[in-house]
Amino acid sequence: MFPPRANSPAPTTASRSGFLGRLRHSISRGANWLGEWLPGGKIDEALLESLEERLIQGDLGVELAAEMVAGLRKRIDRKEVADTTALEAALRAALLEIIQPVAVPLHCDGAHRPFVVMVVGINGSGKTTTLGKLAARLTGEGRRVMLAACDTFRAAAVEQLATWAGRSDLPLVSQGTGADPAAVAHDALASARARDMDVLLVDTAGRLHTQSHLMDELGKVVRVMRKLDPTAPHEVLLVLDASQGQNALRQAEQFRGAVGVTGLALTKLDGTAKGGIVVAIAKRLGIPIRYVGIGEQPEDFGVFDAEAFVDGLLGQRGSTPP
């Protein structure tokens, strides 16, 4: 990772702790399909069937829900789980086993200057807003950041990105509406190299994962940048709206196949999402989850934390090891 620039503020333990607390609260509020559902007393088949139904309703999907409950049944049969308190602890451990390996923060490798992050996603996922928040975060860590407005189709896209650039006093490379996005990316990368920037954040037009011609256009953006840097982009960050449920999983599969997604940023986990789709994506695809958004403000964006997320699903305020 790049060393922080001189006189740059570092994230504080208090701010990190505050974000994790809000993450737990937001997930718990949106995922009350699971949190605090277990009654006291013995485990019976009706309770396990109810748990499986809740997992399915919470967007884990039928196969994964059945697999998780089957694993819990085996532990019950082996007398490792005797009551509902132990069952909740076992469920927490099973969820963490899936999610913990993909909770991997973005690592901006200093060997690549600039480190190019191409941000992709469908319309309405919060892609440009996420890019702006990420820019503010990296700037706060002391990185020299440049933005590239490669969404040349949506009339207000450049203006929206310019607003974020202005908030953090960042350089922005853009052209007029209808310009070739690949040309904008090429110019931005050339400029970022000339100005010795640490990170180049490339915004792209939102597109449905089923629009093959627009997905092909992303490939063109990548090919053009690689004429200047054969290793670019160094991160393809897919922004997913967690409230989309199983459709978000299909989006991730399609974007990964088209442009080789290397990381995820999850948005709208602030009371509307059921949350289980995060588990399904982690299990099915294993793509690193970099960031999570739980609100509209810059401080409502942070590094994804597996334990805080799972504790939110279970309605727990803190982290209690199983």
Digit-coded pLDDT (tens) for 23-44? 776 665 544 555 555 656 678 8
pLDDT class of 319 with cuts at 50, 70, 90? very low
Q: CB–CB of 194/112 below 8 Å?
A: no
Using CA atoms, how far apart are residues 219 and 259, in angstroms rounded to an integer? 6
Nearest to 263 by CA among 139, 115, 142, 93: 115
Range with lowest mean pLDDT among 101-105, 144-148, 149-153: 149-153
Does position 91 have pLDDT exceeding 50, yes or no? Answer: yes
Structure token digits, residue 147: 């933005």
Instruction: Flag whether pLDDT at 322 surpasses 50.
Output: no
**Confidence label for 216 from pLDDT (cuts 50, 70 and 90):** confident
> What count of other Cβ atoms lies within 10 Å of the Cβ of residue 161?
25
Q: 3-state SS string over the chain?
A: CCCCCCCCCCCCHHHHHHHHHHHHHHHHHHCCCCCCCCCCCCCCHHHHHHHHHHHHHCCCCHHHHHHHHHHHHHHHHCCCCCCHHHHHHHHHHHHHHHHHHHECCCCCCCCCCCEEEEEECCCCCCHHHHHHHHHHHHHHCCCCEEEEEECCCCCCHHHHHHHHHHHHCCCEECCCCCCCHHHHHHHHHHHHHHCCCCEEEEEECCCCCCCHHHHHHHHHHHHHHHHHCCCCCCEEEEEEEHHHCHHHHHHHHHHHHHHCCCEEEEECCCCCCCCHHHHHHHHHHCCCEEEEECCCCHHHEEECCHHHHHHHHCCCCCCCCC
Q: How far apart are CA 33 and CA 298, in angstroms?
A: 28
Span 88-96, mean pLDDT?
94
Q: How confident is the model at residue 68 (pLDDT cuts 50, 70, 90)?
A: very high
240-268 pLDDT, tens digit per residue, is 998 888 889 999 998 998 889 999 999 98
State which amino acid sits at residue 23.
Answer: L
Residue labelled with tokens 């602890």: 89
- In this structure, of 1-5, 31-35, 139-143, 186-190, the range with the lowest mean pLDDT score is 1-5
Q: Mean of the per-residue pLDDT values for the chain?
A: 85
Ranking 13-17, 183-187, 251-255 by mean pLDDT, the lowest is 13-17
CA-CA-CA-CA torsion sign (62, 64, 68, 74): positive
More confident site: 237 or 14: 237
Cα gap 293→304, rounded to integer Å: 9
Looking at the chain, the whole-number percentage of residues with pLDDT higher than 70 is 84
CB 290 within 8 A of CB 262: no
Residues facing residue 236 across a β-bridge: 118
pLDDT at 162: 94
* Reported pTM: 0.87
pLDDT band of 138, cuts 50, 70, 90:
very high
Residue 209: pLDDT band (50, 70, 90) is low
Q: Is the confidence at residue 65, as pLDDT, over 60?
A: yes
Per-residue pLDDT at 5: 42
The mean pLDDT value for 154-170 works out to 89
Distance (Å, whole) CA 75 – CA 240: 34
**Contact of 115 with 108, CB cutoff 8 Å:** yes
**For residue 14, pLDDT beyond 60:** no
Query: What pLDDT, on a 0 to 100 scale, did the predictor assign at position 8?
Result: 38
Amino acid at 185: A
Amino acid code (one letter) for 93: A
Mean pLDDT is lowest, of 139-143, 207-211, 283-287, for 207-211
Q: What is the pLDDT of residue 1?
A: 39
Going by pLDDT thresholds of 50, 70 and 90, the confidence category of residue 198 is very high
Beta bridge partners of residue 301, listed in sequence order: 293
